A = this chain, B = another copy of it.
Amino acid sequence: MTHSSTRAAVLDLVRAAGTISRVGLVNATGLTGGTISTVVRGLIDEGLVVETGHAESTGGKRRVMLQLNHFARYAVGVHLDDARITCVLTNLGGAVVARISRACAGEPSGLAARTVDAVIDSVGVDRDRVLGLGLVSPRSLRGWEGHDLGPALERATGLPVVLDNDAAAAAIGEHWAGGVGATSTFAALYMGTGIGAGTVLGGTTYRGPSGNAGEIGHTCLDVDGPRCWCGARGCLEALAGPAAVVAQARSDRALTRAAGLLGGRTRPRTPVSADFAALSRIARQGNPRALALLERSARYVAAAARTLANVMDLEVLVLTGPGFAVAGAIYLPVLRAELDAAFFARAAHPIAVRLSPSAASAPAIGAAAIVLQSELVPRHQGLRLPDDLAAGEPPVFQPSA
């Protein structure tokens, strides 16, 4: 057998390239033809890769082209929200094979397990071809997972479960299924109940030591701005997050009526996402006050995005998540303008800003992609992390010799 990390690297290249030959893999990896030959044979034997045809000849034997066998394995992605549960079954390519989305309030473990089973059975996929289950939720709902939702789902479904937050998942999903290259550096700007970002640096997802990397919600955009619940002033979330936008709309009587906003004061637990979607809808239909509100928000988000792109030296920015699914058309041009202008003057490389084609179900698809990635491109090779270097060392030593 071949070294697992090489196998994973080759598989990932096949995925990223879509279609590639053995010679192409030799060039991309730096390995020799012999090694590639062996590794590819193994992948074909496992059914993960298939030969799909021939390239045009360049003067000699035609190259045999390889592709991921998209339907060799599957993964389940579950996205928990403040109001919904969305569950998708994807194939190896990250394409959605089945999808169920239903309202969900309160403790979701039972419902989640039943939804997972339903989604798998709905297309009659063999269960041991399902690699695992990705479970994704906003950081604010982290409580359930930590307790037992993960293990409970693991028991109920028999699938290995991995957890992550929505923004990181969206980024990984974009990296896996989207058109971004294998070594690209980009962020997925995520708007759900809050606003966040998942980051992929040089083809590797960057989470940070405490798993909070990409927390853009508390980017400071005004040192004298309104106080945020986090204690600081002028945070993006307080100025321009979905909750802030909805709050601003609710203080406008006419706008509240036009958008049909769900009441505010009586029930504090109103789903912000629904009101934000309603607001976006009438803005796109031409309501000037809603449009002004969203464009104001977009200006702040654009400034924060510019900072993020600067600091992380990003190449691509993808807008995704339920928020941008409904309001992307309003935010996109504002962000594009901001980033184009800033980088043109400094003669820096341009930053591509894109709207995710599947923004609404991005977190669920991303959750499945995390499973694909962790099962097929696993454990970043290398040495064990020496968290506590001298932890095992006796404290004192006597110089000698």
Contact = CB atoms under 8 A, between A and B. Distances in A.
A312 B310 contact: no
Interface stretch (A100-108, A111-119, A209-217): A209-217
B232 A341 contact: yes
B223 A344 contact: no
A220 B384 contact: no
B397 A65 contact: yes
A389 B24 contact: yes
A329 to B, nearest CB: 21
Contact of A20 (B57, B215, B393, B395): B393
A294 B97 CA distance: 59
A23 B393 CA distance: 8
A353 to B, nearest CB: 15
Interface residues of A, number: 95
A313 B392 contact: no
A333 to B, nearest CB: 17
Nearest to A26: B392
Interface string A191-226: 000000100011000111111111110111111000
Interface in A1-42: 9, 13, 16-17, 19-21, 23-24, 27-31
A83 interface: no
A313 B397 contact: no
A63 B394 CA distance: 9
Give this chain's copy count. Answer: 2
Contact of A219 (B310, B338, B345): B310
A209 B202 contact: yes
A310 B215 contact: yes
Contact of A213 (B234, B312, B384): B312
Interface of A: 9, 13, 16-17, 19-21, 23-24, 27-31, 51-58, 63, 65, 181-185, 197, 201-202, 206-216, 218-223, 229-232, 234, 299-300, 303-304, 306-308, 310-315, 338, 341-342, 344-346, 348-349, 381-387, 389-401
Given A182-B386, A381-B382, 17 more contacts: A17-B389, A24-B390, A27-B386, A53-B399, A55-B397, A211-B313, A212-B310, A212-B313, A216-B310, A219-B307, A221-B223, A223-B300, A223-B303, A230-B345, A231-B346, A232-B306, A308-B311
